[in-house]
Amino acid sequence: MLFNSYAFWIFLALLWAVYRLLPHRGQNLLLLVASYYFYGCWDWRFLPLILTTTLVNYYTAIGIEKSDSQKQHRMLMVVSAIVSLGLLGFFKYYGFFTESAAEALTWLGFHVNMNILNIVLPVGISFYTFQTMSYTIDVYRGKTKATHSLPDFALYVAYFPQLVAGPIERSSTLLPQITHPRRKRTSDFSEGLNLILMGLLLKVVIGDNLGFITDGIFGAEKGEINGTDALVGIYCFAFQIYGDFAGYSSIARGVSKWLGIDLMTNFRMPYLARNPSDFWQRWHISLSSWLRDYLYIPLGGNRGSSFKVYRNLMITMLLGGLWHGAGWTFIVWGGLHGIILCIYRALGDKFTLPKLWGRVVATFFFFHLICLTWLFFRADSFDQAWEMLRLILTQQEMTSLSRYGLGMIAFFCTPLMVYEVWLNKSGSLRRLETVRWGWRAAAYCYIVFMLIVFPPPVFGQFIYFQF
Amino acid sequence: MADKFHDYDALPTDSHAPSFGKELRVVAVVVAFIMVLEIIARIIAPTLDYDRENIHAFPDVITDLEQRAEKSGKPRVVFFGNSLMMHGLNEDIVYKELAAIDGPEIESTKITPVGTAMLDWEYLYRRYFETEGSHPDVLVVGFVGCHIHDQEPIKLRRLSRHFVSTKDLPNLWKTEKMGFHQTSQSILCNISALEGDQPEHQLGILYSVVSDYRAGVRKNNQLISDAKERRAKEKGLTSGELEETYHRMERFIEFCKKHNVEVWFVPMPQPEVWDCNFAATALAEKHGMKVLDASNIDGMTEEDFSDGYHLGETGGEKFSKWMAQQIKQQRD
C-alpha cells in the first residue's frame, strides 16, 4: 500500500474515522493492528521479522533496566544487537558479501562454489532495525526508561506512517507520544495538510516525472548519449531522489500529524546547503543524526588527533553508504561523502565566500559536488559511472534529449526551489501556514493542478523502500 | 508530550497556526478550483485534438449511417480500426471502384480513433452501437499484429473515458483482472473529463513550455525500451517468446456474432510483409468470420507509406481499390 495509491487514502480515512472515536488505549491498539495490516499488504511473510525484533528489544531493554550488573547490561545489549543486526545482515547483505567474497577468491585464483542465495529484502528492515536499536542503546546508556507496555513498544517499532521508509524516530521523542494520550492541537490539520500536499508534489510530480528521464539516460548504452545528456540525467536523479524520499517523509509526517503524533523533520531544503556539514543537517536528518549519535560520537567523534577524526568520519560515512544498499557503488558514494567532509574539515573555513553572491556560488558549487556523488549512487556499475563522468568532461553538446531534460527540470523544479528559498529565508518550514489563507489556497491549487495534470508516465514505487 | 525535534518546525507563536475551521476555507477553495477545472475540461474536450473531435462525433456518425441505410436499403459497412485504417482507406475511392467493377452498392462510414487496439474496439463497439438498429451488416477491422492480442498494453484513461460505458465498467474490471488502483482510476476517468483527458492536457502544456519535448520524449522512450529489451535478453527472455492470447478478440467476435454482424479482419499493409498470427486467424475462422489479407497487396511498395507505418496517398488508393474488390467478392 503506497502513499500515492488510492488504497492508502481509503485505508487512512477509515482508520481516522474509527481512531477519533476511541480512547487512548484503543487508539494505540487500533494503530498497531493497522500498522501490521499496512506492512502485511507488502508481504505478510515478513511480519514475524518485525515481531522478533520487537520482542527481543522489548525484553532486553527491560532486562537491562532491571539488572544492576554492568556485565549483564553489556551482555543483553550484545544479544539485542546480534539479533537486530543479524537479521538485517542476513536479509540485506548476505547475498552481497558472499558474491563479493566469491569474486575476490576467483580473482585470487581460487575456484570456489559458494551458495549465493537470492534473498528477498524485507521492505523497511533498515529503518525499523535502526529505530529499535536506538531504543535499546538509549536504555543501555540510561538515557531513556524501558517501556513496560508491549503493545506501546510494538507500535513504536511498527508505527505505519514511518515504518517502511522513515523518518527513523528516537524513543525519546516517539515513545512518549505513544504512551501519553494525544492532545487536540489547533494546527494539526493545517500542518498535516501542508505536509501531505507538499509530499505528494515532491513524490508524484517531481520525483516520478524526472525519474522517468533518469531511467532513460542511465539505461543508455555506450554511444547513445553524450556528456550533456549524462549531466542532465544526473540532475534529474538528484531531484528524483530528493522528491521521492523527502516526499515520502513529508507525507508520513503529515499523516502522523492527523493522528496527533509528531514525527521528526527529515529534510530541510538540502540543495540550498553550502557545505557538506550543512548538507547533512538538511538531508535524511533522521539517519545522519542516528549515525552521529550511535556511531560517530562513540567512535570518538571530533575528539582526538586529526587522523582519528578523519578516520571516524570515513567509517561513519562508509557505513552510511552501506546502509543504503548492498553494493559497492553505495559504499563508494558513502566514501565520497566522507572524503568531502574530511576536505571540508581541513580547508572549509579558508574558503568562506562573502555576501549573497558568495553564498549563491557556494550553493551552486556544492550542489554539483553532491551530483557527482549521486552519479555513483545511481549508476549500475563503476564502468557506467566512469563512462558518464568521462562524457561529461569531454563531450558537451546540446541534444534534443538534454533540452527536453533541462526543460522538464526547469518546469517542475523552479517553483519548488523558489518556495524553498522563501522558506529558507525565514528559517521556518511552516512559513506557508503563517501567510494569509488566500495565498495558501493559491499554493494548494497549484499543487492540486500539478497532481491532476502531471502524474508520471509510470506509477512509481518509492526508491527508499529498497534500502 | 515530547518536545519538537527541530526548531525549524516551530511557528513564531501558536496563535499563528490556522485552526481546523479556518483551514476549511482553504480546502473549500481547492475543491471549487477542481470543479472549475472539470468544467473547463468538459468544455474543451471535443476540441482538444483531431482524435477527440472524431470520438465526440461517433454518435452522430453512427446515427447518420443508420438513417442513410434505412432510406436507401443498402447494406451498411463500417470501417473500423485505428490510424492505419483512417489514413489507409478512402471511402470515395471505394465507392468509385465499386461502381467501376460493378460491385454492390453500400452505405459506409469510418470509426477510427487513433492509437487504439482490440480492447478499445471491443468496448467502443459495445458503447456506441448500443441499439439494435445501429449494428452494421459488415464490420471491417484493420489491424497489425500487436493490435489484436491481449498483451497489448491498456491505455486506461482514454479507454475508461471514451470507449467504456459506465454500465460496462464492472465488465472491464473483471475481464482485465484489474486491481484496486486501476479500478479506482477507471471510475475516476469515466466520470471526469479532467482525469480521462489528462494525457492531452499534459501534452498540450508541455509541448508549449518544454523545448524539443516531442523529440526528447521519443529518444527517452527509445532508450528505456532498448534497456528493457537488453535486460530481458540478459535474463534469457525475448519478447517473441511471450505467448500471445486472444481473449479480447474472442469476446469482440462473440458480441458481434450475437448481433448478426459479419466481421472481416484485415491485416493491414506495412512496408515489410508480415504474417498474421495463425491462432488469431484460426479464431476468426472458427467463429465464421473472415480474414482478408491486405498485408501483401500486389504493387504496394515502401513509397506508398507516408511515414514508414501509415499508408500515404498512393498507398491509400491501392488499398481502397483492393478493399472495393474484396467487398465485391465477399458480397457477391
Candidates B1, B20, B210; nearest CB to A180: B1
Strand partners, B79: B110, B140
Shortest Cα distance, chain B CAs vs residue A70, angstroms: 29
Candidates A193, A219, A405; nearest CB to B224: A219
Q: Is A368 a catalytic residue?
A: no
Contact B12 A174 (CB under 8 A): no
Shortest Cα distance, chain B CAs vs residue A414, angstroms: 13
Strand partners, B107: B76
Strand order in the sheet with B290-291: B107-111, B76-80, B138-143, B262-267, B290-291
What ipTM, to 2 d.p.? 0.85
Provide, as residue numbers in chain B, all residues whose Cβ is less than 8 Å from the Cβ of A403.
211-212, 216
pTM reported for the whole predicted model = 0.88
Contact B217 A405 (CB under 8 A): no
Contact A183 B1 (CB under 8 A): yes
Candidates A220, A262, A454; nearest CB to B202: A454
pLDDT of residue A112: 66
Residues 16-55 of B with CB under 8 A from A: 16-20, 22-23, 25-27, 29-30, 33-34, 37
**A29-42 residues labelled b (16+ CB within 10 A) or e (exposed):** ebbbebbbebbeeb
Cα separation, A251 vs A246, in Å, equals 9
B227 CB within 8 Å of a chain A CB: yes
CA distance from start to end of chain A? 17
Contact B211 A428 (CB under 8 A): no
Provide, as residue numbers in chain B, all residues whose Cβ is less than 8 Å from the Cβ of A266.
none
Best A191, A445, A448 member to test B by mutation, with max B CBs in 10 Å, is: A445
Of A24, A180, A284, A324, which is the active-site residue? A324
Cα separation, A150 vs A173, in Å, equals 18
Question: Using one digit for the tens of pLDDT, what is the confidence trace for B23-77?
Answer: 999 999 999 999 999 999 999 998 888 888 889 999 999 999 988 988 988 899 9
Shortest Cα distance, chain A CAs vs residue B320, angstroms: 37
Give the lowest-confidence range in A257-261, B194-198, B238-242, B261-265.
B238-242
Confidence of residue B103 (pLDDT cuts 50, 70, 90): confident
pLDDT at B286 over 80: yes
Provide, as residue numbers in chain A, all residues whose Cβ is less than 8 Å from the Cβ of B224.
212, 215-216, 219
Candidates B22, B205, B223; nearest CB to A217: B223
Please state whether the peptide bond connecting residue A122 to the residue before it is cis, i.e. omega within 30 degrees of 0.
no
**A318-340 residues labelled b (16+ CB within 10 A) or e (exposed):** bebbbbbbbbbbbbbbbbbbbbb
pLDDT of residue B158: 92
Contact B223 A183 (CB under 8 A): no
Q: Report the candidate in A81, A54, A80 with the shortest Cα–Cα distance to residue A150.
A: A54
Residue A353 CB-density burial (10 A; 0-12 exposed, 13-18 middle, 19+ buried): middle
Cα separation, A47 vs A414, in Å, equals 42
Provide, as residue numbers in chain A, all residues whose Cβ is less than 8 Å from the Cβ of B184.
6-7
Residues 93-122 of B with CB under 8 A from A: none
Residue appearing with cell numbers 563503476: A382
Cα separation, B248 vs B81, in Å, equals 15
pLDDT of residue B21: 84
8 Å CB contact between B215 and A417? no
Shortest Cα distance, chain A CAs vs residue B102, angstroms: 51
Task: Kindly report the number of other CB atoms within 10 A of residue A158's CB atom.
Answer: 25
Contact B6 A441 (CB under 8 A): no
Give me the mean pLDDT over the B73-89 stretch: 90
Per-residue pLDDT of chain A (467 residues; tens, 9 = 90+): 788 889 999 999 999 999 999 999 999 999 999 999 999 988 888 899 899 999 999 999 999 988 888 888 899 999 999 998 888 888 777 777 777 777 777 777 776 666 655 666 677 888 999 999 999 999 999 888 999 999 999 999 999 999 888 799 999 889 999 999 988 888 889 999 999 999 999 999 999 999 999 999 999 988 889 999 999 999 999 999 999 999 999 999 999 999 999 999 999 999 999 889 999 999 999 999 999 999 999 999 888 888 999 999 999 999 999 888 778 888 999 999 999 999 998 886 676 667 788 888 889 999 999 999 999 999 988 899 999 999 999 988 899 999 999 999 999 999 999 999 999 888 888 888 888 999 999 999 999 999 999 998 765 555 555 55
Candidates A404, A428, A453; nearest CB to B210: A404
CB pairs under 8 A between A and B: 172
Candidates B5, B14, B228; nearest CB to A173: B5
Compute the Cα dihedral for B171, B176, B180, B185 and give only its sign. Answer: negative
The three cell numbers of residue A207 are 520525483
Residues 166-185 of B with CB under 8 A from A: 180-181, 184-185
Best B212, B228, B230, B233 member to test A by mutation, with max A CBs in 10 Å, is: B212
Provide the mean pLDDT of chain B.
86
8 Å CB contact between A456 and A240? no
